[in-house]
Structure formats: structure tokens, C-alpha cells
């Protein structure tokens, strides 16, 4: 069975939920979300690459990613881990250095496995509906979709 395309829903005024099925076991999907050597292989839309990737995977530990894209554009983001329950759940704060998205959001990733496929449900919770709608108006959906397609390529190469 093949992985499926990214599904984006807005179940609450401040939330965006990203859902994607991967043809890989849950523990491996969790590792690709949390291990710098794996994140560098897939994180970001096509044309972007992760040039800095720091992960202190523990409650209260911080993370920071810096990506470089077309024309040398830079995007930096980071936050603090609030929950780490390998391989089923991860929650952390996220904010961008350049205020691409104002303020801080809370990201919760839940991984469920069935018949060798892993469903990744990621909830992005923003401070207001206005901020959520601002994010929805960006190319975020395309970027996340391309990033997850790149992740599929990592799984296919194993």
C-alpha cells in the first residue's frame, strides 16, 4: 500500500491539523522527526535544505533549525520540547526568528501504526484565528507536502 497525500484540516479556530500516512513503521517515522542526521535528509520544501539542526530531545530541551532556500533565503525556527513519548507522541513550541509567523505556536505530533503504515497527525495551535489564517494563506501546505514527499524518498531508500 502506498503512502497518501497530505491532508490539511481546521477543526478549531486556532488549529491546523496536518495528516499524512507513511509506508514505514512508527519508530522510524518518530526517528525522522527527531534525529538531526535524518532531518537533514528531508526537512523542507524542494529547493530548501537544513543547514543547522540542533535537537535536545527531552522535556524542556530546545530545538533549532535553520534552512536555506532559493536565492539564499534563510528561515530559522526553534522551540522547546514539552512532551517526548517515543515513538507515539511529541509536543513542542515553535517560533520563527523573522516573525514569518507572529508569536509562538504549539505543535503536537501523534503517530499511530497499522499494518506497517504510520499515520502522522500534527496539530499546529496558534494564539488566534487571525494567526492561523495568516499561516493558511502562505505556501505552508505546499511546503509541508513537498517535505513529506522527500521523507517518503528517505523511507523508500532504506
Res. 60 pLDDT band, cuts 50 70 90? very high
**58 pLDDT above the threshold of 80:** yes
pLDDT of amino acid 3: 56
> Phi/psi of residue 43, each to 5°?
-70, 125
42-51, 89-98, 99-108: least confidently modelled range? 99-108
Question: What's the average model confidence in pLDDT over 115-128?
Answer: 97
Question: What's the average model confidence in pLDDT over 100-119?
Answer: 94
**1 pLDDT above the threshold of 90:** no
pTM: 0.94
pLDDT of amino acid 102: 83
Name the residue with higher pLDDT: 158 or 114.
Answer: 114
pLDDT of amino acid 130: 96
Whether the CA torsion 60, 37, 90, 132 is positive or negative: it is positive
Locate cell 507572529: which residue? 102
**DSSP characters for 5-29?**
--EEE--STTEEEEEEEESS-HHHH
Amino acid at each position: 500500500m502506498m503512502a497518501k497525500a497530505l491532508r490539511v484540516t481546521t477543526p478549531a479556530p486556532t488549529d491546523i491539523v496536518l495528516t499524512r500516512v507513511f509506508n514505514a513503521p512508527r519508530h522510524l517515522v518518530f526517528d525522522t522527526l527527531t534525529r538531526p542526521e535524518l532531518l537533514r535528509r528531508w526537512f523542507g520544501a524542494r529547493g530548501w535544505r537544513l543547514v543547522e539542526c540542533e535537537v535536545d530531545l527531552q522535556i524542556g530541551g530546545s530545538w533549532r533549525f535553520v534552512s536555506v532556500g532559493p536565492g539564499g533565503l534563510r528561515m530559522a525556527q526553534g522551540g522547546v520540547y514539552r512532551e517526548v513519548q517515543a515513538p507515539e507522541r511529541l509536543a513542542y513550541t515553535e517560533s520563527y526568528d523573522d516573525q514569518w509567523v507572529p508569536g509562538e505556536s504549539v505543535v503536537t505530533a501523534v503517530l499511530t501504526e497499522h499494518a506497517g503504515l504510520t499515520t502522522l497527525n500534527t496539530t499546529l495551535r496558534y494564539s488566534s484565528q487571525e494567526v492561523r489564517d495568516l499561516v493558511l494563506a502562505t505556501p505552508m501546505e505546499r511546503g509541508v507536502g513537498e517535505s513529506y514527499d522527500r521523507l517518503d524518498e528517505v523511507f523508500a531508500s532504506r
